């Protein structure tokens, strides 16, 4: 009995004690969050963003292993730089947004890298194709909230984004960099 207690109590303290002080960031402030992307077109750096996306988040810095995050991006909300480009990327060869209106990222592990840095592992699904992605992210606590900033790269060909004539990377490069800034307030 004594032995069991000597194991149990420290273990309980380890798991419970941080939780007592911990905040869990849960409520994402959509208007203060940003999802943008960058790519090269004929050697020219271009950028764009999505204006409508939702994030379901539960992140306690003290318990990164228990973190959950699901992001859904409404592809029709893209701003790819010009009205002409926005119409184009909705088409079948690009996002085919009619058939696949939403891109989804589901985090399945968050690894602490020390300090405020983390590595988010997850699955990204676009246009019916799913790929594993790893996104380094930093957490910046603010009054009652925290900002998650991170960036990662995908290859558009992995998701069949830009088929047919666009499949050649000579005009639009294969690499697409994605940047996110997510502001979430602490829930109880």
User: Footprint of other proteins on this chain (CB under 8 A)?
Assistant: 41-46, 81-82, 84-85, 88, 165-166, 168, 170-172
Q: Are residues 62 and 56 in contact, defined by beta-carbon separation less than 8 angstroms?
A: no
The rounded distance, in Å, linking the Cα atoms of 136 and 91 is: 31
Min. distance of Cβ 127 from other proteins in angstroms?
19
Specify the pairing of strand 145-155 against strand 117-126.
Answer: unpaired
Phi, psi of 164 (to 5 degrees): 60, -130
Strand-strand pairing, 44-50 and 68-74: unpaired
Residue with smaller CB distance to other proteins, 7 or 44: 44
Q: Which CA distances in Å does 159 have to 40, 78, 139, 181?
A: 17, 17, 29, 23
Rounded to the nearest whole angstrom, what is the least distance from the CB of residue 155 to other proteins in the complex? Answer: 18
Q: Which residue, 100 or 166, is less far from other proteins as judged by CB?
A: 166
From 81, 15, 10, select the one nearest 49 (Cα to Cα). Answer: 81
Indicate the residue among 45 and 113 with the shorter CB distance to other proteins.
45
CB of 76 to other proteins, least distance (A): 18
Report, in Å, the least distance between residue 77 CB and other proteins: 18
Q: Which is nearer to other proteins, 72 or 88 (CB)?
A: 88
Q: How far is the CB of 91 from other proteins (least distance, A)?
A: 9
Question: Residue 83 or 143: which CB sits closer to other proteins?
Answer: 83
In angstroms, the first-to-last Cα distance of the chain is 35
């Amino acid at each position: 009995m004594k032995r069991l207690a000597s194991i149990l109590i420290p273990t309980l303290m380890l798991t419970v004690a941080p939780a007592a002080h911990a905040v869990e960031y849960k409520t994402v402030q959509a208007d203060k969050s940003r999802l943008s992307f960058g790519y090269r077109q004929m050697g020219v750096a271009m950028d764009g963003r999505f204006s409508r996306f939702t994030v379901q988040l539960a992140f306690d810095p003290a318990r990164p292993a228990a973190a959950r995050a699901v992001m859904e991006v409404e592809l029709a909300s893209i701003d790819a730089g010009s009205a002409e480009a926005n119409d184009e990327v909705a088409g079948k060869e690009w996002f085919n947004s009619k058939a696949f209106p939403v891109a989804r990222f589901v985090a399945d592990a968050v690894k602490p890298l020390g300090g405020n840095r983390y590595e988010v592992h997850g699955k990204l699904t676009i246009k019916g194709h799913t790929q594993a992605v790893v996104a380094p992210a930093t957490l910046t606590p603010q009054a009652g909230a925290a900002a998650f900033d991170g960036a990662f790269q995908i290859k558009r060909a992995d998701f069949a984004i830009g088929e047919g004539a666009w499949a050649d990377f000579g005009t639009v490069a294969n690499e697409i960099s994605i940047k996110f800034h997510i502001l979430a307030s602490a829930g109880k």
